[in-house]
Amino acid sequence: MPHSGSRPTALRAAAAATLALALALSGCGSDKKEAKPKPPPAPSEQPESEVTAAPGSEALKSTGLRRPVTYDDKVSVAVVDVRHVRNRATGPGEVTGRTLTIFTLRFTNGSSSTLDLNKVRVLARYGPKGAQASPTSYANLNDFYGTVAPGAKKSASYAFDLPASGYKSVTLKVAFDAKHRTAVFTGAIHA
């Protein structure tokens, strides 16, 4: 004689397996077209005052560095501000007490084409031997990115570990595309 409790347990197990199979198969077939995922939104533009903000920094004077470089197509790049600040470590890799020199650059697009700034490279050298200054981060400074419409301007600030002892001879190089030669700014910085 079979055990009376085994039959209801077997029926429940079979019903559970059938239900699981039905649920699994119900997601496999659909007449609906699969929706393509939406692309992420474009980055929002920050006001220039936020992009170039360097809290606690002090303005510096310069000779020679602020002469703009203008190309034949009326695109120009200029150093519009030079500042320095003594850094305080707030994140990984930051060292307290270093003097950071901050250069604010501005591109002006006087051409009739959109100017792509996604490949801007900035290099700073200092001192009589042209030592390369290490790029670093500070506050919420942002590099150039995106594009500049014809007739528009865009600014960004770049921070370098460039000691005051090298301020007598500073060279800043700005490369941004293959059509335009590298912009070179040479001069001195004064406190």
Average pLDDT, the chain: 82
Mean pLDDT, range 166-183, rounded to an integer: 96
- Binning pLDDT at 50, 70 and 90, where does residue 85 land? confident
Residues facing 109 on adjacent strands: 75
pLDDT value of residue 174: 98
Tens-place pLDDT, residues 26-49: 555 555 555 677 765 555 555 555
Dihedral-angle region of residue 56 (phi above 0 means left; psi in -120 to 50 means alpha; beta otherwise): left
pLDDT value of residue 59: 86
- Look at residue 6 and tell me whether its pLDDT is greater than 60: no
Lowest mean pLDDT among 53-57, 82-86, 174-178: 53-57
Task: Look up tokens 């528009």; give the residue.
Answer: 152
- Characterize 104-123 residue by residue with b for buried, 16 or more Cβ atoms within 10 angstroms of its Cβ, and e for exposed: bbbbbbebeeebebeebebb
122 or 16, which is more confident? 122
Q: What's the pTM?
A: 0.71
CATH class of 55-190: mainly beta
Enclosing H/E stretch for 77: strand 75-86
pLDDT value of residue 32: 55
pLDDT value of residue 13: 61
- Binning pLDDT at 50, 70 and 90, where does residue 58 land? confident
Tens-place pLDDT, residues 92-128: 666 677 888 999 999 999 999 999 999 999 999 999 9
